[in-house]
Structure formats: C-alpha cells, structure tokens
Copies of this chain bind each other. A is one copy, B any other.
Amino acid sequence: MTQYFTEERSAEAVNGCMGETTDPRIREVMACLVKHLHAFAKEINLTQAEWQVGIDFLTKTGQICSGERQEFILLSDTLGFSMLVDAINNRRPPGATENTVFGPFHVDGAPIRSMGDTISLDGKGESCLYQGRVIDLDGRPVEGARIDVWSDNADGFYDVQQPEFQPKWNNRGIFATGADGSYSFIGIKPVSYPIPDDGPVGQMLNRLGRHPYRPAHMHYLVTAAGFQKLVTHTFVGDDPYLGSDTVFGVKTSLIAPFEPATNGRTQWQSTFDFVLTPG
C-alpha cells in the first residue's frame, strides 16, 4: 500500500520522491534541508499565519533585489549564515590569519598602486598608515602577494554606493609585496556604518530589536601562489559596535591596533601582519 504524506514522516515522504538518477550531492543537500525545515516547523508549531508572513517576507526580499542590491545575501549575512558558511569552508591552523565575510562592496579591477600610496581620494576622514607584512606560518615573508584593500569613506559609504559623490576607486587599491613581504598604504581610519536597512531585512532587524550597524573595518583580499585565498577585515578596536556586528564578522584575532601615528604623515597608524595558510 502506498505510504502517503503524514505529519510524522513528512520529510521522509518528500525526500523519498527524488529520482534515482539525481546527482548524489544535490540529493544529500536537499534531503538535509527538507529535514531541518520540517523539524523547524514541527518544533515551533508554525501557524498558518506565520507561514504566510514567511512567504510574504521571502517574496519582498526577492523583489527588492536588483543589479545593485542583493537582499538575500543581506539576509544570509544578518542571520549569521554567511559567516557560518565562511567558517565551515575556511578552517585554518593556529597562527594563520582568519577569514571573515567578503561583503557586497568589493569591486574587481581596482588600481594597482605602489607601496605607501594613498587610497583615499576624497580628502575626507582621519588619515591612517596601514603597514605590516604578509608571511607564512613559519614567519617567512611571502613575496608577490597581492593585497586588494577597500573601505568605506568618512561618511560611512563605499564609492559604489555614491557614484555621484565619491571619486571612482575611492578607498580602494591593489598592492604587491616585494621580497621582504612588507606592505604599507595610507587610507582613512574607517567608520562604522549601517547596512542598507530600508528593505525587508531592515524591517526584520527592527522586529528583532537589532541595530543594522557594522563596526569600522578595512577589507582585505590577500592572494599568493601556493597559499589559500584570505578574505578578511581588520577591525578598529574601540568601535562601539564591535560586540554586536550585525553580520557577525568580528573575530578577536582580527581586531587591529589603531594608534596615534608617529610617522609624521598621518593621524593614525595600524600595524597588522597577514599570515597565509598553504593551499
């Protein structure tokens, strides 16, 4: 006799429907997703009205997405799901610099600059010298590492968010290390900013009693032949949102010193070494 869907074996009924030639990984991922989605509804006794709220929320989240806005990534970020996937896929040995979320504001093709150059082009903000070395787990310098950096400006916006107000490539640049693995560039001391909160995700955060802010940070994408790609930030240690980053990107090891400068050129300086993992 055919076994029809029942509340008790709901996930089994759904997962039992998959074809025999279905890709094994797709089968495994979907079966696991269905199992957990059903367990969620059962554990919480989800009501029809709550289900409708969920349908409406997902629909609005999809409909606000555009070429410039990805609200589902924002949702994944604010539910800690992006950080979790990042963590699962970037487990590192002790001593290696840790990953954090990539974020939506990286742009390929930033200008290649010389060590010591300034990336801040709009004359705003408090200047900061960023310096340190790219090294391996044994402390040896990594030559030819490519360091792609980006941050918001002093008003809390990335250049791509304000194409009419900021110079193109403001607070962006790519640097390559020499034989000693060292790097240096001048940017601004970044500022904390809210993620876009005028859509469904902002409404969700509001209903959850959460703020939309990210603590101030400088983004880094560091790549070098023979090493794992490093996607990370350094965080300004005295930021009031450090303990409540709305996308959960902060790790203790990524909080960098931002100190009054002694170099005569900038107001602040921040020294941080990037330790790459063999890959």
Residues of chain A touching chain B, judged by Cβ–Cβ distance below 8 Å, are 2, 4-7, 10-11, 13-14, 17-23, 26-30, 32-48, 50-51, 55, 58-63, 65, 70, 72-73, 76, 79-89, 91, 207-210, 242-246, 248-252
Whether A207 and B62, one on each chain, are in contact in the complex, defined by CB atoms closer than 8 angstroms, is no
Query: Does B208 lie within 8 Å of A18, measured CB to CB?
Result: yes
CB <8 Å contact, A4 and B250: yes
Taking A23-B207, A55-B72 as known contacts, 14 extra A-B pairs with beta carbons closer than 8 A to each other, sorted by chain A number, are A5-B80, A7-B88, A14-B248, A21-B209, A22-B209, A29-B44, A42-B84, A45-B88, A46-B88, A51-B81, A51-B82, A58-B72, A59-B72, A63-B65
Measured CA separation A101–B46 after assembly (Å): 15
In the complex, A63→B249 CA distance in Å?
A: 29
Question: Given A62-B65, A84-B7, are A22 and B70 also a contact pair (CB < 8 Å)?
Answer: no
Q: Give the number of copies in the complex.
A: 2
- A208 near B81 with CB under 8 A, answer no
Question: Is there contact, CB below 8 Å, between B207 and A80?
Answer: no
Given known pairs A26-B208, A30-B208, A42-B88, the reply for A79 and B14 (CB within 8 Å) is yes
Instruction: Determine whether the beta carbon of A19 is less than 8 Å from that of B85.
Output: no
Residues of B close to A22: CB separation below 8 A: 207-209
Chain B residues with Cβ below 8 Å from A81 are 37-38, 41, 51
Q: Please tell me which one of the listed residues B18, B35, B59, B91 contacts residue A65 in the complex, with CB atoms under 8 A apart.
A: B59
Q: Is the CB of A251 within 8 A of B5?
A: yes
Chain B hits for A30, CB < 8 A: 208
Look across to chain B and name the residue whose beta carbon is closest to the beta carbon of A85: B51
A268 to chain B, nearest CB (A): 23
Residues of B within 8 A of A86 (CB): 48
Min Cβ gap A205→B in Å is 9
Q: Are B38 and A84 in contact (CB under 8 A)?
A: yes
